[in-house]
Amino acid sequence: MDYLNIIKQAQDELYYSLKDFNHYKIVYFYPKDNTPGCTVEAVDFSSFKKEFEKLRTIVIGVSKDSIKSHQSFCTKKELDHLSGEVIPTMM
Protein backbone atom coordinates (compact mmCIF):
# COMPACT_ATOMS: atom_id res chain seq x y z
CA MET A 1 0.00 0.00 0.00
CA ASP A 2 1.27 3.47 -0.87
CA TYR A 3 0.70 5.45 2.31
CA LEU A 4 1.26 8.75 0.46
CA ASN A 5 -1.98 8.17 -1.45
CA ILE A 6 -4.21 7.61 1.59
CA ILE A 7 -6.76 10.43 1.71
CA LYS A 8 -8.22 11.50 5.07
CA GLN A 9 -10.44 14.34 6.22
CA ALA A 10 -8.94 16.99 8.51
CA GLN A 11 -10.63 19.24 11.06
CA ASP A 12 -11.03 21.95 8.41
CA GLU A 13 -13.39 19.43 6.72
CA LEU A 14 -11.16 19.19 3.63
CA TYR A 15 -9.51 15.99 2.44
CA TYR A 16 -5.75 15.53 2.25
CA SER A 17 -3.14 12.96 1.42
CA LEU A 18 0.48 13.18 2.55
CA LYS A 19 1.39 14.10 -1.03
CA ASP A 20 -0.53 17.38 -0.58
CA PHE A 21 2.18 18.72 1.71
CA ASN A 22 5.52 19.65 0.17
CA HIS A 23 7.22 19.47 3.53
CA TYR A 24 8.89 16.96 5.77
CA LYS A 25 6.22 15.21 7.78
CA ILE A 26 5.87 14.03 11.36
CA VAL A 27 2.80 11.83 11.72
CA TYR A 28 1.71 10.87 15.21
CA PHE A 29 -1.22 8.73 16.23
CA TYR A 30 -3.19 9.18 19.41
CA PRO A 31 -6.21 7.30 20.77
CA LYS A 32 -8.62 10.11 21.67
CA ASP A 33 -9.02 13.89 21.73
CA ASN A 34 -8.99 15.64 25.11
CA THR A 35 -7.18 12.93 27.04
CA PRO A 36 -4.31 14.08 29.29
CA GLY A 37 -1.40 12.50 27.40
CA CYS A 38 -2.75 13.33 23.96
CA THR A 39 -3.41 16.92 24.96
CA VAL A 40 0.14 17.40 26.27
CA GLU A 41 1.53 15.93 23.05
CA ALA A 42 -0.61 18.15 20.79
CA VAL A 43 0.11 21.30 22.82
CA ASP A 44 3.85 20.55 22.74
CA PHE A 45 3.84 20.08 18.97
CA SER A 46 1.87 23.31 18.51
CA SER A 47 4.28 25.25 20.73
CA PHE A 48 7.10 24.45 18.30
CA LYS A 49 5.22 25.63 15.21
CA LYS A 50 7.78 28.30 14.23
CA GLU A 51 10.69 25.89 14.61
CA PHE A 52 8.89 23.29 12.47
CA GLU A 53 8.14 25.92 9.81
CA LYS A 54 11.83 26.85 9.64
CA LEU A 55 12.58 23.18 8.99
CA ARG A 56 9.78 22.91 6.38
CA THR A 57 8.13 20.27 8.54
CA ILE A 58 4.47 19.71 9.32
CA VAL A 59 3.05 17.67 12.16
CA ILE A 60 -0.05 15.59 11.53
CA GLY A 61 -2.01 14.13 14.43
CA VAL A 62 -4.27 11.19 13.61
CA SER A 63 -7.00 9.64 15.75
CA LYS A 64 -10.31 7.90 15.25
CA ASP A 65 -12.32 10.82 16.65
CA SER A 66 -14.85 12.70 14.55
CA ILE A 67 -14.12 15.96 12.75
CA LYS A 68 -16.40 17.76 15.22
CA SER A 69 -14.37 16.32 18.10
CA HIS A 70 -11.11 17.45 16.46
CA GLN A 71 -12.49 20.96 15.94
CA SER A 72 -13.63 21.17 19.56
CA PHE A 73 -10.30 19.82 20.81
CA CYS A 74 -8.29 22.35 18.79
CA THR A 75 -10.50 25.25 19.87
CA LYS A 76 -10.63 24.22 23.53
CA LYS A 77 -6.86 23.76 23.80
CA GLU A 78 -6.05 26.73 21.50
CA LEU A 79 -4.02 24.51 19.22
CA ASP A 80 -2.51 26.16 16.19
CA HIS A 81 -3.76 23.55 13.74
CA LEU A 82 -4.07 24.11 10.00
CA SER A 83 -2.52 27.52 10.17
CA GLY A 84 0.03 27.72 7.40
CA GLU A 85 -0.16 23.97 6.73
CA VAL A 86 0.95 23.08 10.23
CA ILE A 87 -0.57 20.26 12.23
CA PRO A 88 -3.75 19.14 10.54
CA THR A 89 -5.64 16.71 12.74
CA MET A 90 -7.16 13.90 10.75
CA MET A 91 -9.51 11.04 11.41
Of 11, 16, 38, 74, which one is the catalytic site residue? 38
Q: Which residues of 20-52 are buried (b: 16+ CB within 10 A; e: fewer)?
A: ebebeeeeeebeebeeeebbeebeebbeebeeb
| Entry field: residues in the chain | 91
> Does residue 74 have an active-site annotation?
no
The catalytic site residues sit at: 38
